Amino acid sequence: PFSDVVRFTSCRGCVVSLSTDSPDAIRAHFPEWRKELENPSHYKKLYNFSFGFSREKGHKNLPTEVAIALWHLFLDGKSPHLDEWCKFLQEKETKTITKDTWSLFYDFSMQIDKDMSNYDMDGAWPVLIDEFVEARKGGTAE
Amino acid sequence: MSGRRTSGIGARKLVIKPLKTKPKVHANLEEETWQKVARAMRATFAEESVSFSREELYGAVQDICIQNRAASLYARIRDECAAEVCRKVGSLKSASSSGAGFLQQVETLWSQHTRQMASIRNVVLYLDQTYARTTQGVLPLWDLALAQFRAEWLAASDLPVRLVDGMLNVIQRERDGEAVERGLLYSLSRMMSALRLYHEQFEPRLLEATEEYYHRESERYLQQTEVHDYLAHCEDRLKAEADRCGAYLDSSTQRVLLEKVENQLLKYHCDSILTKGFDPLAEASRLSDLHRTYRLLKRVDCLNQLMASFNAYIRRVGSALVNDVEKDATMVEELLALKDKADTILNEAFEKDETFSKTIREAFETFINSRQNKPAELIAKFVDARLRAGNKAQSEDELEAVLDKIMVLFRFINGKDVFEAFYKKDLAKRLLLSKSASFDAEKSMMSKLKTECGAAFTTKLEGMFKDIELSKEIGAAFRDWIPEEQQRGASLLSVNVLTMSFWPPYQPTEIKLPKQIVDAQDAFKDFYLKRYSGRRLLWINTLGHCVLRGRFEKGDKEFSVSVFQAVVLLQFNNADKLTYREIAERTGIEEQELKRTLLSLSVAKIRVLRKHPHSREVGVEDEFSFNNSFTNRLYRIKINNIQLKESKEEKNSTHQRVQQDRQVQIDAAVVRIMKTRRTLQHNQLVAELYKQLKFPMTPQDIKKRIESLIERDYLERAEDSPGTYNYLA
């Protein structure tokens, strides 16, 4: 629906007065927008925005299944941890994901190596990610 | 000598004229004198008597010196001595080489020679003093004797070695337990000193032999003996060696020698001594052995190792004590005993050494906190038991002493808030059920807590006491206020009004009280709110208790019961038999509580009710009947011990409360800190929290609270740096 697309645009700070309502006109902007997405800080902004966007009205957090779907959308191929993370969440039967966890998972994906050797357990990472790392580290040690 | 003299008037002048001719020096005087001296010397050396008188000899020598012929006389004396020394030493070379005999021979020779030389010196004393002592490059006779002997001795192939060998051999035999000729060794030792051979030839080999000897001994002994015996043996050995040094060795040897012995016996084996022997000694509190250990290890500068063993022992025993869940009931007594034991050892075996005292504290602090929460809870319970009435254990002084010791333990605990929660709860019970043994004891304990926990905690406790006091006054005023007709109702009720913030949290519970009680409660409420406006009163019936009179076949009895028990019992005024469901409905009491109450009245010691079936559990189909044939040797009977006993749920809920309270404190602290600092990195925030909060926290605990605060929009992460937090106003 158009209303969604308009909101989408305004989040990127792109002042596009979309007075037109023709799908073709909007589609014409696509190449330009695709290029914007290659900018990592814009990508991150989009990623963070999508959390609030996807929430149910009146709810603070995002149901885990929705979060997983979104994660695949955004981070497939970009995060070395994605599959294990989703598996971990399902095993743990986590019901919802907080905004903080959502946001930090992006940083986690970008900064932390696949073998998690540069992860600081006493750092500022959310507890859920700590638990993930601990579970995975325990697994690889076996 | 000639000289002129003048004297006074009338004195005759006395003139002395010089000799016209010089007296002829006896041409052979020198030769004659020498012959005399030589004969005297030889006789002395031969231990024969001398034919001339001493004075004659002395005078003759003197004459020679006066004639300035001292030098040649000296030379001849010197040569004569040299020959004698050569002869003497030579005789030794061919002497028997066996130990004691040889030593004796040397000693005899030496003492002879010294005696003889002294004698000769006395004869030619004038020469010695006027010539020998004053002329450069000429040795006084005594020194000459020594030098000659020394030179001859050193040149005498293996004699020096044999002498030292012999002496060392004797020393070893003495060390092995034989009685030896100490006098002989003493003389030889002095001889070597005189000849400047003691430090050069004897002492080094003595030290080496000593090292070797004790090295072997220590290896052997350590394996074969118990540590405490070994240490006693070491002490004996050290004493013996010191004695030996005093008896026949040079005083300069003592320090070095003892050091070698100490090293071999103690220092190099310090670790195995302590590993093998410390724990059993500590376990059995063998104070004199421990003291010996301290003294001996102090000599070899190994006190740090001893301290480490002490520390490890305390930690091991203490940790086992604290972490053994089966032994919770006796944990506190055993901790007190352990502390007493450690202190006794400190005072009586370790000479009140300050570093050891510190190590005790450090060990206690480590192991007591190896188990969270439980020690604090048990200590609170211990204190409660001591402060309760009916505690027959002790006098006032004893109680005071025990409480002081408890505070020492308490000081080591990190999570003091757990203790505070339990202490407060127990104090509340004591106050509300009038169970305090002694007001003075309570006050004394409070002042101790004030010192440890700060005034914030004890202010609340003091508030609790005040509430009780005040309630008494209010109760009296209430009774005065009630009009005559209603007096009986009012006298039913005795109310404690508790200021909520001082006391542990209590929840009101469901219960259908009899009309009398409700009326009395309402009357009180009216009275109170008239007196103190703007307040709210909540009845906490779980804390109440009452006295019921029961009429039985065999006589009346009075029962001291809880409100719940009373309400249940009162139902049987209207029926002899009731089902569980009926009771539940009529009393409105919640299931678990009701079951517990019914059990206490029908299945425990005092069975005022009969339970059908008579099982240990209350089922919803059970029936209860009034036990008309109830008897008891007492008239007034207590059944309200339910309130005094703490259930497991109660304990858990107290622990939970403490944990929740800690979370709240962390939240508050984070907000406080962030409000001031506005922006902080994660580690800085954590560091600040550890500084401000006094209970144990894990990094995870803190992180969880931070996340919670982020979710509630108190904080946010900085956009480009997620490890930094910003305060959100």
Instruction: pLDDT band for A14, please (50, 70, 90 cuts).
Output: very low
Paired tokens of B499: 């200021």
Find chain A residues with C-beta within 8 A of B681's C-beta.
124
Instruction: Determine the distance in angstroms separating the CA of A60 from the nearest CA of chain B, rounded to an integer.
Output: 9
In chain A, whose CA is at the least distance from the CA of B715?
A100
- Structure ipTM: 0.78
Going from the C-alpha of B60 to that of each of B67, B73, B112, B141, B142, the distances in angstroms are 11, 11, 26, 18, 20
Find chain A residues with C-beta within 8 A of B704's C-beta.
127
Find chain B residues with C-beta within 8 A of A125's C-beta.
703
Tell me, what amino acid is at B626?
A: F
Q: What's the pLDDT at B307?
A: 95
Tell me, what amino acid is at B543?
A: L
Q: In this prediction, what percent of chain A has a pLDDT beyond 90?
A: 7
Burial group, residue A1, by CB count within 10 angstroms (0-12, 13-18, 19+): exposed
Instruction: Determine the distance in angstroms separating the CA of A113 from the nearest CA of chain B, rounded to an integer.
Output: 18
Paired tokens of B550: 């029961």
Q: What's the pLDDT at B77?
A: 87
Q: Which helix (H) or strand (E) holds B681?
A: strand B679-681
Instruction: pLDDT band for A142, please (50, 70, 90 cuts).
Output: very low
Distance separating alpha carbons of residues A82 and B108, to the nearest angstrom: 101
Beta carbons within 10 angstroms of residue B720's beta carbon:
7
Where would I find the beta strands (DSSP E) of A5-135? 62-63, 96-97
| A45, A109, A127, best to mutate vs chain B, most B CBs in 10 Å | A127
Tell me, what amino acid is at A89?
A: L
User: Do A98 and B711 make contact, defined as CB atoms within 8 angstroms?
Assistant: yes
Find chain B residues with C-beta within 8 A of A111's C-beta.
none
Please give the radius of gyration of chain B, using alpha carbons only, rounded to the nearest integer.
Answer: 50
User: Do A103 and B699 make contact, defined as CB atoms within 8 angstroms?
Assistant: no
CB < 8 Å from A in window 643-682 of B: 681-682
pLDDT(A13) > 50: no
In chain A, whose CA is at the least distance from the CA of B725?
A124
User: Do A127 and B704 make contact, defined as CB atoms within 8 angstroms?
Assistant: yes
CB < 8 Å from A in window 9-68 of B: none
Q: What is the dihedral of CA B347, B348, B350, B354, to 10 degrees?
A: 10
Instruction: Determine the distance in angstroms separating the CA of A118 from the nearest CA of chain B, rounded to an integer.
Output: 15
Beta sheet of B555-562, edge-to-edge order: B545-552, B555-562, B636-638
Find chain B residues with C-beta within 8 A of A123's C-beta.
682, 723
Please give the radius of gyration of chain A, using alpha carbons only, rounded to the nearest integer.
Answer: 17
If we measure between CA atoms, which residue out of B270, B290, B273 comes closest to residue B282? Answer: B290
Task: Out of B711, B722, B723, name the one closest to residue A60 (CB).
Answer: B711
User: Do B710 and A100 make contact, defined as CB atoms within 8 angstroms?
Assistant: yes
User: Do B717 and A127 make contact, defined as CB atoms within 8 angstroms?
Assistant: no
| B681, B686, B689, B719, best to mutate vs chain A, most A CBs in 10 Å | B719
Q: What's the pLDDT at A139?
A: 60
**Is the CB of A48 inside 8 Å of chain B's CB atoms?**
no
Instruction: Determine the distance in angstroms separating the CA of B690 from the nearest CA of chain A, rounded to an integer.
Output: 14
User: Do B722 and A103 make contact, defined as CB atoms within 8 angstroms?
Assistant: yes
What residue ranges of chain B have pLDDT lower than 50?
1-3
Tell me, what amino acid is at B275?
A: T
If we measure between CA atoms, which residue out of A75, A69, A77 comes closest to residue A53? Answer: A69
Q: Which helix (H) or strand (E) holds B578?
A: strand B577-579
**Is the CB of A49 inside 8 Å of chain B's CB atoms?**
no
Distance separating alpha carbons of residues B74 and B237, to the nearest angstrom: 51
pLDDT(A15) > 50: no
